[in-house]
Amino acid sequence: MSQEREAVEAMVEAELEPHEPTPDEITARDRVRAEATGMTHHQTAAALERAEAAVADGADASTRAALAEWRRITDLLADHGGPYTPEADPYAQGQLTARGR
């Protein structure tokens, strides 16, 4: 694995650690979920590749959050036969419930 790829992997892992997201991170994750709705695993994998290429030059918090969300959704769909829907995503539903409190 190249150093650049390792750096992206470390960034994604750090972003997926439990933390209080900023408003920009929330917006980025919501945008990715909306864009991913209806996509299959192969489509989200392609979107993940594009997002990884975009962070090669550096990433702010919202870009890191978007990349991590593409990774999480792609991983979720790896074991799922249908397209992505936020309503069937336990992680997304948990976040929405937590925001409602």
**pLDDT tens for residues 31-81?**
999 999 999 999 999 999 998 887 765 678 888 899 999 999 999 999 877
- pTM listed for this prediction: 0.82
pLDDT of residue 101: 57
- Delimit the domains of the chain by residue range: 3-100
Listed in sequence order, the residues at least 6 apart from 95 whose beta carbon sits closer than 8 Å to its beta carbon are: 29
Nearest CA among 90, 95, 85 for reference residue 44: 85
